[in-house]
Amino acid sequence: MARATILDWTEASVQLKFNAHREVKYQVYRDENRHFLEVRDVSDKPIHTLQLPDGMKLDQSSYEVLLRYVLLDVVAA
């Protein structure tokens, strides 16, 4: 099975701590039997790719909540 897009590139303004925010875009895709959330900045520079746990299928607003936590973790690192 080839790579398949679940949620195409979507732009989001993610609220971080202390009135800071970050403009990003993200997509959700399946590669073989694994699901991924890929995050890039608006200039298309990769930020992070997160492998989602098996069976995790969310709606778009849930992906954006997950996106915020991923960005907070990446910014803190």
Residues listed for the chain: 77
Q: Tell me the three state secondary structure of residue 45.
A: coil
Res 56: pLDDT: 67
Q: Which two tokens stand for residue 37?
A: 């959330």
Distance, in Å, from the CA atom of 58 to the CA atom of 64, rounded to the nearest integer, reads 10
Distance, in Å, from the CA atom of 26 to the CA atom of 39, rounded to the nearest integer, reads 4
Please report, in tens digits, the pLDDT of each residue of the chain (77 residues total).
688 898 899 888 887 777 778 888 999 898 888 888 899 999 999 998 988 877 666 766 777 777 777 777 776 54
